[in-house]
Amino acid sequence: MSTQPPPRPGQARYEYHEAPGEYTRNVGGSGSNENEKIAGSYAGLALAHTALAMPLLFQPREAATFLLGGTALPTNVEQDRLMGLLAAGLLSGATTAWSLKGAAEERHLSTAASERLQLGLMALGAASLGVHFAHVRELTRNGFAVGAAAAVLTVAVPASHALGSKRARRRLGSHFKRLADGIGRLFDFQGRFKLSSVLYAGDGGGFAGLLTPAFFVAGASYLLAPQRTLGNLLGYVTKGNDSIFLWRQAGSLLLTLLPAVTYTLKEKAEDNRLAEQSSRTLNSGILLTSIGNLAVLGPMANEGSGGRYLPLLVGTWAAAFSASVIGLSTSNADRSL
């Protein structure tokens, strides 16, 4: 009876675990099939978010009619703008899922950064599903079905890994503890001043917090006070249920996923890891999202047609654009940013 020969030393894999901060040796590549399946599921999620964003960008009025039916009529430029903002946020969801695909292939899904991004996606899906149920009367059957299915998929894919085993479920408490610790360290910056860290979260000397807290506060206000924020930011006088639904959907992205992404990039900036492929993918998402928002909001601010706080919103997205450009331009040799 033949037996399989032991794996050669060259077949050993080395995995980095962020929590203990050390490398472990895994001989024989066990679990590679499982990691490939997880990576494939994240690739599918990234494609789903991209597919949802495309019609919102290029056929906003047809997409509004599909989602909202008679509630969206008559379609107008205000809906076009809100569709553009929502599509821009979905692109960040796509790049986050793609970043986690790479983490799965490299067996880094158990790091604190990957766990934070997975929680961000799960929170996004849950918030989006809640918005769909809150506006179920305004949505068409097909619109509700497609939107709810996408929200469930956004929860299910990361949850299948983060909560798929007894060991993973036991670690759920540690996930939230890390999240709470992360909020406590939001303005705690290690080492010397770095512009990229300031743009992602603020600095320890009382500088006004930027992206991470700004996204969180904006998302909460979009969800809880949609009529007031639509008026004060975009200057919308007539705020129908169609506008409120789209605004709240954009708010769910700001509240959940984008703070997880920007805080992760803050930590990577402090650890001189912005040149890594995962960091570049996340920064690409912030870049695309900021360009999408500025393309919608910039002309409004230039024309003076927005609300009184629109310049503040434009400034926040300009800071996001600057942070992403700095992150993407960082190399392993240049760690000053």
> 156-182 pLDDT, tens per residue?
999 988 776 566 555 656 655 555 555
In a domain, 112, yes or no: yes
In a domain, 191, yes or no: yes
Task: Read off the amino acid at residue 29.
Answer: G
Query: From the CB of residue 326, how many other CB atoms can be counted at a distance below 10 Å?
Result: 18
Burial class (CB in 10 A: 0-12, 13-18, 19+), 185: middle
Q: Which residue has the tokens 């000397």?
A: 205
In a domain, 26, yes or no: no
Counted domains in the chain: 1
* Segments forming the whole domain that contains residue 36: 31-329
In a domain, 60, yes or no: yes
Give, in degrees to the nearest 5, the angle at Cα 151 between 168 and 46.
80
The low-confidence residues of the chain, meaning pLDDT below 70, are 1-31, 164-209, 238, 331-337
Of 300, 74, 264, which is closest to residue 182 (Cα–Cα)? 264
Decide: pTM greater than 0.85.
no
In a domain, 36, yes or no: yes
Q: Which residue has the tokens 């860290």?
A: 197
Token code pair at residue 246: 């789209």
In a domain, 18, yes or no: no
Q: Residue 178 has what pLDDT?
A: 55
Q: Residue 169 has what pLDDT?
A: 57
**Length of the chain, in residues:** 337
In a domain, 10, yes or no: no
Give, in degrees to the nearest 5, the angle at Cα 58 between 56 and 64.
40
Report d(CA 301, CA 310) in Å as an integer: 7
Q: Residue 163 has what pLDDT?
A: 75
Q: Are 103 and 96 in contact (CB under 8 A)?
A: no
In a domain, 9, yes or no: no
